[in-house]
Amino acid sequence: RNMFNSLKISAQEGDTKELIQKLDEYTKTNLNAKAFEKYRDVNHIKVKSLKSIIIAKLTEMYGSKIPYNFECRDDITKIPNNINELDLVRII
């Protein structure tokens, strides 16, 4: 949180050089390839309930060090009418 406050102040003061330096520092220490890989392709899921449960399950597997491969190349904008959304989420 302190890092974000610092970034906000740098941005407000117009110190772009310091802002870029702080962003670089933050990404090097807090974000890595594995973290990005964890949620890869989730942005294609537009149905909030489905996206939420998928993120929860991926986080659980990642935290438990369970190897997995999640792929969703096409946008999912709605669940077909013949599938109950609550049933689908419960099954997952």
For the chain, give every domain's residue range: 1-31, 33-92
pLDDT (tens, 9 = 90+) of the chain, 92 residues, equals: 566 667 677 677 776 777 677 777 776 666 566 666 777 889 899 999 999 999 899 888 888 989 988 999 999 999 999 999 999 989 98
Rg (CA), the chain: 18
Task: Tell me what pLDDT residue 47 has.
Answer: 92
pLDDT at 50: 92
Phi, psi values for residue 76, rounded to 5°: -110, 105
Among 26, 27, 29, CA closest to 6: 26
Predicted local confidence at residue 40, as pLDDT: 81
How confident is the model at residue 9, as a pLDDT? 74
